[in-house]
């Protein structure tokens, strides 16, 4: 499976990772090697098998609809890289 | 103009009436200070995990049953992955291939009386995102995650609507229904009921055209304008030889037009996959039966009953089944004075709703109970109060807690229909205005109103109009 | 100070008999940690002051009455368990300043039992790695040979136990990250059934595979810790409500009649001679004790590595999207716009291996590839689970080498990540099927420890306890300690 730099760039954009042009080539080669690994899956005799997404096939448990007031707001603010007036700040987004 | 037709599909995001969020136990109340209602899970802190709210599931089932949809025995939560500041985890937990509600539909009637059935494709549960504010900070966007994690039911129609009027009729019917069921408060100003419209046009008989999505239109009036504008815009472009771009557009209420969303990328790759933190949701027969058992009479069925059994007009029936609390009030009133549905309807739709609106109160907060109002209507029915007097009594009923009779007594209001007393008043007025008497006798009919007015004045409005008219005519002849 | 004191049983016994105070034991532990650190680099954070006061509190409680089952016992957490008020880095620059205000369920349980937390153990960043060379805080060295890796991703935890700094440490196992470092370091590493231990507060790598595990010097010790941290937690929707592990009967049950499966695929061509020999010797010992060996076929093993390396990175790519410089963690300087904020914060915060796996996972889920990769891998997963289920109708446990090789040299495998992935061949299938597994020391090859992996059916940790403990009753491998170097 060949992986070109354009593909690396588009995946990196989807994943919001910046990769320097120097590293794109290396990343392409690494990715290609792993994708070769994936090809083995096509030979597996899975036919109509149901995908197993949760080992043990459990059921979703439901919680009672009770609101609990939070008490860690100050602790969260301490962790914030950029906050003002209670809002988290990011560079201006134009919609 | 050639044979154009529009194809419209609607997506409505309805905020569910739960106390806590869909996956976290933060409160869902509107209007808290920024990030005061965002706990570690809402903030996507590492190691936090979602736990499903039972009531959100119950409300989704309730909705599904009300629209005769199929309730999926097994439905799956999926992650919709994309980056945006109001989406703290970098993914939204939603449902993709296996939603909780499948199919169903709603009967609608447009304003010009055209009736049709609108099929639904599906409805699924998902979490709401937070809010970004762009106008509070100079060079930054502020992010408030209070809303992040609020439970939503996304309701999707088939692309089966043909014009803005049908779309609005559908939205109104849906809005009434979700409020009626207690599924949502449907508050469009607060964002509990958000409509997106997918609009495309085509020549009759041709294949489906490219669609554009008009997002987040927050009033029925704007939905109508936005769709009309969008249909026209698309037709204009195609007739000029251009083609429609599949994109998301916003409605600009000031200019009455839709605009392309600037900076919005073309089709996202959401990389949906089943959320590994949430096993599949299984809905058993017992949950379905529990919701079915508590299903109230639905608005459309109730309206039909009002028309068929109570003899109300379609218009009145529709008015009285738009809000469940109003409808319950009306029925309580009817129960108190059986056999006078039309009278009850008039007073509920007229004076009562008018007073509520003026006081900015919801129907559940009416200071005037149906029982006390019934006391007033009884006096209209038995003739002791004229309509005009009744309105006066109503004002007092609204403001205090006396009964109608107590008020009438206090204000000295009693219809003067005692012929003797009335006759005396008429004689007085006739004697006082000989010129007008002469005018009447010479054929000036309009002068009668003058006499009616004078008697009304001297009787302080308590003269029975029907009797008065008859007496005047008899004495002036 | 005798190395014997560094089993949980010995410590508990000495503490309860009053032979040593919690404070004194904690001081010894902190001294050993300080001596170990420049050699092994096994800790990211050391908690001297708070450990001392926790120990003092244990002593005070003990003077007044009954205490928790682990009261006064020092331990370390792999640094992906959130510990309220204590730095939790996940081995990453991304969280190098992250002090959570909440604790993992695993931490709450150990605290309640009276354990004394002495530090947060080094690990491969975000639990991605098999050598602990991918930590922002530098690699961990194997106490048996400082030029070699301890295994990963719970390398710090394994090294601390091997060096007898602590009697036990927590770890996490997504594809072998508790079992393999235990094997490389000559200690015992136990991964429970998926759902046995709550994942609340455990920083996620691959949600459907991650499970907290325990590293200690004996199976018995691991079992006791596992008891403390196991149990249903309503905060984790994948946490199961099952009966507790019946430890005592499992410890006393004999090896006689135990049916041990020997999967053909676990003894493939890649197994180093020394490793193969040690494992075969172990199997022979079992036979001597009255167990029987049954040949087992796990044909779907051939696809376990591809399936794992689709599923784990895919889930990770999504789990790690929350690290974006907005609400906590590393943020780049002077972001030009939103995209720049995301891209640079993440590129600066994540190391190379993490970025690689995010790219792999993003690709596997991307448009057009979901069916061929992720969905197909989940189907293979069911195939693998069925293989195991079939095997367990014939045997009680499966046995084989935990890893094809002994600990390799630092730097040896960095150039070829794929080779490292392939070495997980015996361990990943266990996570894919959600089964419990344990690695116990079973010998040496060229002076380096060899681990024997035992695997049982879901919820049958008791069989692993019987098989592992029984083996440790009649062998001495688990008692071997690395040479003391410049230690007090």
Q: Which CA distances in Å does C174 have to C179, C218, C359?
A: 10, 21, 19
Q: Is C207 a catalytic residue?
A: no
- Could you tell me the pLDDT band of residue C418, with boundaries at 50, 70 and 90? confident
Quick check: A63 and B31 in contact, CB under 8 A? no
**A90/C317 Cβ within 8 A:** no
End-to-end CA distance of chain C: 9
In this predicted structure, which of C143-152, C198-207, C401-410, C416-425 has the lowest mean pLDDT?
C416-425
How many other C-beta atoms are found inside a 10 Å radius of the C-beta of residue B103? 15
Residue C488 has pLDDT above 60, yes or no: no
CA-closest candidate to residue B416, choices B377, B457, B356, B446: B457
Q: Which CA distances in Å does C477 have to C54, C188, C225, C277, C426?
A: 33, 10, 21, 14, 21
Mean predicted confidence (pLDDT) in B346-371: 94
Quick check: B370 and B336 in contact, CB under 8 A? yes
Domain ranges of chain A: 5-39
Query: 3-class SS at A54?
Result: coil
Query: Which ipTM value was assigned to this complex?
Result: 0.96
Residue C487 has pLDDT above 70, yes or no: no
In this predicted structure, which of B266-280, C27-41, C175-189 has the lowest mean pLDDT?
B266-280
Q: Which of B85, B262, B279 minimises the CB distance to A59?
A: B279
Q: Which residues pair with C401 in a beta bridge?
A: C452
Mean predicted confidence (pLDDT) in C374-383: 96
Domain ranges of chain C: 3-253+426-479
Q: Which fold has domain C3-253+426-479?
A: Amidase signature (AS) enzymes (3.90.1300)
pLDDT at B254: 87
Please list every residue in chain A whose beta carbon sits closer than 8 Å to the beta carbon of residue C340: 91
**C234/B85 Cβ within 8 A:** no
The pair phi, psi for residue B73, each rounded to 5°, is: -65, -30
Mean predicted confidence (pLDDT) in C242-264: 97
pLDDT at B140: 95
Residues 271 to 330 of B: which have CB under 8 A from any C CB? Answer: 271-273, 276-279
Q: Which of C234, C310, C339 minimises the CB distance to A63?
A: C234
pLDDT at B445: 86
Q: Given its phi and psi angles, is residue B49 left (phi above 0), alpha (psi -120 to 50 degrees) or beta? A: beta
In this predicted structure, which of B303-312, B419-428, C367-376 has the lowest mean pLDDT?
B419-428
Both tokens assigned to B323: 């809000």
Residue B387 has pLDDT above 90, yes or no: no
Nearest residue of chain A to residue B281 (CA atoms): A60
- Listing DSSP states for B362-400 in one string gives -GGG-SS-HHHHHHHHHHHHTTSS-HHHHHHHHHHHHHS
Model pLDDT for residues B61-90, shown as the tens digit of each residue: 999 999 999 999 999 999 999 999 999 999
Residue B262 has pLDDT above 60, yes or no: no
Instruction: Show Cβ contacts of residue C458 under 8 Å, excluding neighbours closer than 6 positions.
Output: A55, A56, C193, C194, C433, C434, C435, C436
Residue B263 has pLDDT above 50, yes or no: no
pLDDT at B242: 92
Handedness of CA C371, C377, C382, C386 (dihedral sign): positive
**C370/B47 Cβ within 8 A:** no
- Could you tell me the pLDDT band of residue B264, with boundaries at 50, 70 and 90? very low
pLDDT at B419: 64
**B277/C207 Cβ within 8 A:** yes
Q: Which CA distances in Å does B261 have to A13, A93, B133, C220, C315?
A: 20, 12, 16, 63, 31
pLDDT at C51: 97
Q: Which CA distances in Å does A63 have to A56, B26, B29, B56, C234?
A: 21, 13, 19, 10, 8
**A46/C307 Cβ within 8 A:** no
Nearest residue of chain A to residue C308 (CA atoms): A38
In this predicted structure, which of A52-61, B42-51, B410-419 has the lowest mean pLDDT?
B410-419
Query: 3-class SS at B175?
Result: helix
- Could you tell me the pLDDT band of residue B273, with boundaries at 50, 70 and 90? very high
Q: Give the separation between CA C457 and CA A59, rounded to whole angstroms.
A: 20
Q: Is C237 a catalytic residue?
A: no
List the catalytic residue out of C177, C230, C304, C403: C177
List the catalytic residue out of C22, C78, C103, C403: C78
Model pLDDT for residues C427-470, shown as the tens digit of each residue: 999 999 999 999 999 999 999 999 999 999 999 999 999 999 99
pLDDT at B383: 81
Best C239, C240, C319 member to test B by mutation, with max B CBs in 10 Å, is C319
Nearest residue of chain A to residue C98 (CA atoms): A79
pLDDT at B417: 62
Q: Is C439 a catalytic residue?
A: no
A66 reaches C (C-beta below 8 A): no
Residue B460 has pLDDT above 90, yes or no: no
**If you average pLDDT over every residue of chain B, what do you get?**
92
Quick check: A31 and A17 in contact, CB under 8 A? no
Both tokens assigned to B213: 């999505």
pLDDT at B416: 64
In this predicted structure, which of B399-413, C58-72, C230-244, C335-349 has the lowest mean pLDDT?
B399-413
In this predicted structure, which of B350-364, C195-209, C458-472 has the lowest mean pLDDT?
B350-364
Best B74, B140, B150, B249 member to test A by mutation, with max A CBs in 10 Å, is B140
B143 reaches C (C-beta below 8 A): yes
Model pLDDT for residues C81-103, shown as the tens digit of each residue: 999 999 999 999 999 999 999 99
**B271/A92 Cβ within 8 A:** no
pLDDT at C415: 84
Query: Which position has the token pair 């196992």?
Result: C173
Q: Tally helices (H) and strands (E) across chain B.
A: 16, 18
Express as a percent the part of chain B with pLDDT over 70: 97
Helices (H), C186-231: 219-229
In this predicted structure, which of B207-221, C114-128, C241-255, C329-343 has the lowest mean pLDDT?
B207-221
Model pLDDT for residues B151-178, shown as the tens digit of each residue: 999 999 999 999 999 999 999 999 999 9
Quick check: B159 and B8 in contact, CB under 8 A? yes
């Amino acid at each position: 499976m060949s992986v070109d730099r354009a593909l690396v760039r588009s995946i990196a954009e989807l994943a919001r990772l910046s990769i320097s042009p120097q590293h794109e080539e290396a990343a392409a080669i690494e990715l290609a090697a792993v994708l070769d690994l994936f090809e083995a899956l096509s030979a597996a005799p899975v036919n109509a098998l149901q995908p197993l997404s949760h080992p043990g096939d459990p059921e979703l448990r439901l919680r009672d609809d009770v609101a609990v007031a939070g008490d860690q707001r100050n602790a969260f603010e301490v962790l914030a890289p950029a906050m003002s007036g209670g809002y988290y700040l990011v560079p201006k987004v134009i919609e | 103009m050639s044979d154009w037709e529009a194809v419209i599909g609607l997506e409505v995001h309805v905020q569910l009436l739960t106390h806590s969020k869909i996956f976290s136990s933060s409160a869902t109340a509107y209007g808290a200070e920024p990030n005061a209602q965002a706990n570690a899970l809402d903030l996507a802190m590492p190691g936090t995990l979602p736990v499903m709210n039972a009531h959100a599931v119950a409300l989704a089932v309730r909705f599904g049953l009300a629209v005769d949809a199929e309730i999926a025995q097994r439905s799956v939560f999926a992650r919709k992955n994309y980056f945006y500041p109001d989406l703290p985890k970098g993914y939204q937990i939603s449902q993709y291939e296996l939603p909780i509600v499948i199919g169903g539909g709603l009967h609608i009637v447009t304003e010009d009386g055209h009736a049709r059935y609108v099929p639904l494709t599906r409805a699924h549960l998902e979490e709401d995102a937070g809010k970004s504010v762009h106008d509070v900070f100079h060079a930054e966007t502020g992010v408030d995650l209070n809303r992040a994690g609020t439970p939503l039911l996304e309701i999707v129609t088939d692309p089966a609507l043909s014009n803005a009027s049908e779309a609005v009729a559908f939205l109104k019917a849906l809005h009434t229904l979700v409020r009626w069921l207690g599924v949502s408060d449907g508050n469009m100003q607060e964002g509990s009921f958000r409509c997106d419209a997918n609009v495309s046009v085509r020549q009759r008989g041709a294949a489906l055209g490219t669609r554009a999505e008009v997002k987040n239109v927050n009033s029925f009036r704007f939905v109508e304008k936005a769709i009309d504008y969008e249909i026209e815009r698309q037709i204009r472009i195609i007739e000029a030889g251009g083609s429609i771009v599949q994109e998301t557009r916003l409605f600009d209420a000031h200019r009455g037009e839709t605009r392309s969303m600037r900076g919005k990328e073309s089709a996202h790759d959401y990389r949906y996959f089943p959320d590994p933190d949430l096993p599949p949701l299984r809905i058993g027969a017992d949950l379905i039966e529990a919701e079915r058992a508590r299903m109230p009479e639905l608005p459309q069925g109730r309206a039909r009953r009002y028309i068929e059994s109570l003899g109300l007009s379609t218009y009145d029936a529709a008015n009285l089944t738009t809000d469940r609390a109003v409808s319950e009030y009306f029925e309580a009133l009817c129960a108190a004075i059986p056999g006078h549905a039309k009278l009850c309807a008039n007073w509920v739709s007229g004076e009562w709703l008018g007073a509520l609106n003026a006081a900015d109160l919801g129907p559940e907060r009416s200071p005037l109970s149906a029982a006390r109002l019934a006391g007033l209507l009884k006096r209209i029915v038995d003739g002791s109060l004229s309509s005009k007097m009744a309105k006066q009594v109503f004002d007092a009923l609204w403001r205090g807690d006396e009964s109608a009779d107590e008020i009438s007594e206090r204000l000295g209001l009693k219809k003067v229909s005692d012929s003797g007393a009335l006759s005396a008043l008429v004689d007085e007025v006739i004697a006082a205005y000989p010129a007008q008497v002469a005018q009447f006798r010479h054929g000036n009919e309009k002068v009668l109103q003058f006499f009616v007015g004078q008697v009304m004045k001297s009787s302080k409005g308590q003269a029975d109009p029907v009797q008065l008219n008859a007496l005047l005519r008899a004495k002036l002849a | 100070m005798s190395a014997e004191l560094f089993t949980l049983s010995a410590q508990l016994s000495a503490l309860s008999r009053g032979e040593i105070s919690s404070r004194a034991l904690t001081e010894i532990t902190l001294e050993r940690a300080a001596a170990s650190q420049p050699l092994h680099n096994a800790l990211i954070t050391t908690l001297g002051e708070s450990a001392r006061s926790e120990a003092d509190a244990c002593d005070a409680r003990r003077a007044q009455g009954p205490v928790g089952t682990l009261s006064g016992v020092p331990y370390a957490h792999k640094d992906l368990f959130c510990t309220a008020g204590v730095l939790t880095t996940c081995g990453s620059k991304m969280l190098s300043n992250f002090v959570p205000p909440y604790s993992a369920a695993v931490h709450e349980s150990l605290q309640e039992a009276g354990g004394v937390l002495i530090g947060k153990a080094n690990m491969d960043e975000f639990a991605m790695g098999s050598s602990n060379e991918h930590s922002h805080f530098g690699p961990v060295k194997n106490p048996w040979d400082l030029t070699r890796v301890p295994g990963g991703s719970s390398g710090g935890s394994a090294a601390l136990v091997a060096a007898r700094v602590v009697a036990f440490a927590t770890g996490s196992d997504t594809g072998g990250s508790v079992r393999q470092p235990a094997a490389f370091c000559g200690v015992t590493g136990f991964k429970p059934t998926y759902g046995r231990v709550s994942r609340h507060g455990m920083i996620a790598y691959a949600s459907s595979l991650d499970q907290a595990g325990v590293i200690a010097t004996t199976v018995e010790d691991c079992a006791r810790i596992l008891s403390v941290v196991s149990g249903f937690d309503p905060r984790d929707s994948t946490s199961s409500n099952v009966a507790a592990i019946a430890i005592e009967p499992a410890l006393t049950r004999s090896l006689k009649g135990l049916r041990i499966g020997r999967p053909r695929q676990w003894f493939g061509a890649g197994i180093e001679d020394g490793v193969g020999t040690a494992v075969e010797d172990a199997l022979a010992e079992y036979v001597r004790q009255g167990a029987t060996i049954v040949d087992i076929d796990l044909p779907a093993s051939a696809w376990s590595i591809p399936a794992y390396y689709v599923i784990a990175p895919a889930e990770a790519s999504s789990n790690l999207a929350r690290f974006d410089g907005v609400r906590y963690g590393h943020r780049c300087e002077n972001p030009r716009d939103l995209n720049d904020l995301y891209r640079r914060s993440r590129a600066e915060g994540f190391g190379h291996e993490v970025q690689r796996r995010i790219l792999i996972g993003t690709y596997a889920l991307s448009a057009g590839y979901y069916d061929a990769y992720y969905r197909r891998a989940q189907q293979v997963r069911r195939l693998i689970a069925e293989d195991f289920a079939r095997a367990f109708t014939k045997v009680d446990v499966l046995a084989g080498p935990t890893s094809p090789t002994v600990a390799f040299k630092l730097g040896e495998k960095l150039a070829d990540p794929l080779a490292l992935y392939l070495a997980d061949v015996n361990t990943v299938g266990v996570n894919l099927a959600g089964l419990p597994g344990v690695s116990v020391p079973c010998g040496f090859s060229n002076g380096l420890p060899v681990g024997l992996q035992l695997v049982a059916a879901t919820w049958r940790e008791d069989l692993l306890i019987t098989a592992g403990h029984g083996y440790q009753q009649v062998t001495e491998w688990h008692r071997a300690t690395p040479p003391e170097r410049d230690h007090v």
